[in-house]
A and B are shown apart, each in its own frame.
Chain A
Amino acid sequence: MNDYKAIMIGGSAGSFQVVSRIIAALPANYPLPILMCLHRLKHIRSGFVEALSIKSKLPIIEPHDKEPLKAGRIYLAPANYHMYIELGNRFSLSTEDVVNHSRPSIDLSFFSASYNFKKKLVGIILSGANKDGALGLKSVTDNGGLTIVQDPKECQVPTMTTASMNATKVDYVFSTKQIIDFLLKLA
C-alpha cells in the first residue's frame, strides 16, 4: 500500500457534523496528520476548535505561521487566513484576497499540499455550497495523490462535491461511514 504522509479535508460550514463524526472515530494514536480547510460562517469565527475538540481524541490545532507539521494532530485552517503547506513540512499563512469568496480557500490549501506531498497525499472533499476545492482536488490527482469525495446523495449541499467530480476523475465516492473506515485502514 502507498504510505501516505498526510490527509487533507475540505468542506464548508455545513459539513461540521460530518467532520465531527470523522474526528470522533479516529484513535488517539492515529499516525497521520490531518489537515482541514473548512469554510466558516462569517459570524462564527471562534469556538470552532473548542466544539470539534470535545469529540476528538487527537489535539486540534489552528497552526501558526511557519509552525512545523507533526503527525498525530489535526490542523484546522484558522479563520480569515489562507493555509499553505510549504516544502519542509511547515505551515505558512497569508491574508491574501479571498478566492471563490473564501478565506481560507480550499483550492489554495490543496494546491500547496499536493505540490508538497505529491502522491503521498489523500484529498477528501465533503459537502459544501461553493465550488472552491474542485480545482484543488484536481491538483491532488494531477500530482498522483488519492482523491475521495463524500457521496453527493449524502450531502445537504452537493455543489462542492459535484464540482470536484466534474473537475477530476476521483478515486472514490464514499459515504461518511466509508470515509471513516478508509481512514482507519490507513493507520
Chain B
Amino acid sequence: MVTNEDAARLITAIKTSSTYDFTDYSDKSFCRRIEKILLDNNMDLNQLIHKIGKDKDFLEQMVKDITVNTTELFRNPEMWQTLRYHILPKFKKNRSIFIWHAGCSSGQEIYSMLILLNELGMFDQAKVFATDINTDMLEAAKAGQYKYRFNLGYLDNFDKVIKENPFNFEDKVDVPYEKYFDIDKVKDTIQMKPFLREKAVFRKHDLVKDGNVFYSKFDLIFCRNVIIYFNNKLQSRVIDMFNSSLNRDGYLILGSHESILGASANNFERSKGFYKKKQM
C-alpha cells in the first residue's frame, strides 16, 4: 500500500522534475492512483521516483495516468434538463455567451453543451473554451470519436435531454442522432459532426497553477468531477478563481455530488446544483 509519506516523496520528486504540483490533491485518491501505476509498471516506489527523475516522457505519461478521465455524453441528464429549461433561456437574448469547460476530459461534456445550444438556437452566439491538464484527453476531445457499444448509455441520455421534456411528457421532439453524430456499428464508433468539432477552442491548462488565461469572463463555467480529486484548500483556491472569472449573473456548474465548502460558498447562491455568482 502507498502511504501518505510515500505520496509526499513522489510529489516532491514530480515537482523537482516538472511544473506539476500534486501537493493539494486529495491524499487517498492520489495514493490509489499511484498504487495502480506501480502495479501496471511493475515497479516499487523507489524505482518510480528514479525513473521520473531521468525520463521526461515517462513522467508526462505518469501524470496522465494519475488523472481520472471517466466521462459521458449528457452525464447526469437531470443537470442538462435544468440547464435547458431554467438556465440557458436567461442568456438567450445576450449577444454572446462565454462558456468554459475546465477539466473537459475527452470532450463529451463539450459536445453535450454544443448539441443543447444548437437545439435552443444559441449555437452561434456561444464562445466555447475547453481545457484539461491531460493533453491526450484534449486530443480525444478534438477528435470527438467515441466507442459505440460500450457507450449505449449516451443515446439514452441524449433522448432524455434532447427528445423529451421532463416538465411536459407530451412534448416530444424527434431529433435524429445523425443531426449531431454518425454511428458506425461495424467500426463501433460514434463520430461527432465537423460543425461541432470546429466550435470549441482547446487549450492545455492546469488548475493548480494557471488562472483564467482567456482574457475574457464567462457566463457559464463547467468544472464537474474535477475538484473531488483536490483537497479543501485547493478546492477553495480554484473556486475563488472561477468566481473572479465569472460575469455578473454567471453560473458555476459542479458535478452532481460536489459542493463548495468553507468561506468560498458565500460568493454563490445555490439552486438545483447550480452556483450563481452573488452580486457583492
Q: Does A46 contact B (CB under 8 A)?
A: yes
Q: Does B28 contact A (CB under 8 A)?
A: yes
Q: Does B153 contact A (CB under 8 A)?
A: yes
Q: Does B118 contact A (CB under 8 A)?
A: no
Which A residues lie within 8 Å of B28 (CB)?
84, 86, 92, 112
In B206-251, the 8 Å CB interface with A consists of: 225, 227-229, 232
Q: Are B78 and A81 interface neighbours, CB within 8 A? A: no
Q: Does B26 contact A (CB under 8 A)?
A: yes
Give the CA-CA distance A67 to B261 in the complex, in Å.
9
Q: Which residue of A lies closest to B71 (CB)?
A: A95
Which B residues lie within 8 Å of A46 (CB)?
78
Which A residues lie within 8 Å of B61 (CB)?
none
Q: Does B256 contact A (CB under 8 A)?
A: yes
In A52-99, the 8 Å CB interface with B consists of: 62-67, 78, 80-81, 84, 86, 92-97
Q: Are B68 and A95 interface neighbours, CB within 8 A? A: yes
Closest CB in chain B relative to A91 CB, distance in Å: 9
Interface bin, chain B: 20 to 34
Q: Which residue of A lies closest to B228 (CB)?
A: A65
Give A93-118 as 1s and 0s: 1 = Cβ < 8 Å from B's Cβ atoms.
Answer: 11111000000000000001000000
Interface of A is mostly: loop
In B58-107, the 8 Å CB interface with A consists of: 68, 70, 75-76, 78
Which A residues lie within 8 Å of B68 (CB)?
94-96
Give the CA-CA distance A33 to B229 in the complex, in Å.
25
Give the CA-CA distance A64 to B256 in the complex, in Å.
8
Q: Does B258 contact A (CB under 8 A)?
A: yes
Which B residues lie within 8 Å of A84 (CB)?
28
The residues of A with any CB-CB pair to B shorter than 8 Å are 42-43, 46, 62-67, 78, 80-81, 84, 86, 92-97, 112
